[in-house]
Chain A
Amino acid sequence: NAGVMQNPRHLVRRRGQEARLRCSPMKGHSHVYWYRQLPEEGLKFMVYLQKENIIDESGMPKERFSAEFPKEGPSILRIQQVVRGDSAAYFCASSPQGSSYEQYFGPGTRLTVT
């Protein structure tokens, strides 16, 4: 049973470009969470999604950031018009329905904005 997969592992974007980060949850998991880790800081919750639904987006910046978890395919975290302050590690976690405490993290995507 493969773990949570994220790609790409490293992403470099110039200011103003778009960044798309993908997360494939563990098989059978229907809940996905996105976290951001700025340099020298802990992880900060961004958004919680179930298939085709955003459950909690209280940690998402109001502008430029969006997330989706379609019926088919991976969850996508999209950052439009990236700025240098978006440079961070973005972690995805997944959990099975009914057991959100069983949370498994992916390896993260390191986004660098130049």
Chain B
Amino acid sequence: AQKVTQAQTEISVVEKEDVTLDCVYETRDTTYYLFWYKQPPSGELVFLIRRNSFDEQNEISGRYSWNFQKSTSSFNFTITASQVVDSAVYFCALSEYTNAGKSTFGDGTTLTVKP
């Protein structure tokens, strides 16, 4: 069975601070996909990144960066110089390689960025 743990239920930072959201996963599969999604107060789900288990390279996209470490089963997400608009619930998800549409989500981390 797959499991995703986002231990931080809520995080509050002041604008311009850096913040890291943790994600730890469990799977017996050797190949799989990992995802991060953002859910703003409006409620829709915004795709941020997909990473397959073959690729352990870190990725940077603007103020966002992701650190994938297979050895510790972690896929952490860092926002640099946070902004108020980053306030949202962030979900980490894991899916089977052969059925990537069936994802297991963590319970989310609520990030509040104060001005």
Binding site for B on A (CB under 8 A): 31, 33, 35, 40-45, 48, 56, 89, 91, 93, 95, 100-101, 103-105, 107-108, 110
Q: Which residues of B contact A40 (CB under 8 A)?
A: 107
Q: With an 8 A cutoff between CB atoms, is B77 at the interface? A: no
CB–CB A101/B100 < 8 A = yes
Q: Which residues of B contact A35 (CB under 8 A)?
A: 103, 105
CB–CB A100/B44 < 8 A = no
CB–CB B101/A48 < 8 A = yes
| Cα–Cα, bound, A31→B52 (Å) | 20
CB–CB B43/A107 < 8 A = yes
| Cα–Cα, bound, A42→B107 (Å) | 4
| Chain B contacts with A in 33-84, Cβ cutoff 8 A | 33, 37, 43-45, 47, 50, 52
Q: Which residues of A contact B52 (CB under 8 A)?
A: 101
CB–CB A108/B44 < 8 A = yes
| Cα–Cα, bound, A44→B43 (Å) | 16
Across the interface, A107 reaches (CB within 8 A) one of B44, B103, B108, namely B44
Across the interface, B43 reaches (CB within 8 A) one of A56, A101, A110, namely A110
| Cα–Cα, bound, A100→B47 (Å) | 14
CB–CB B101/A43 < 8 A = no
| Cα–Cα, bound, A27→B105 (Å) | 26
Q: Which residues of A contact B93 (CB under 8 A)?
A: 42-43
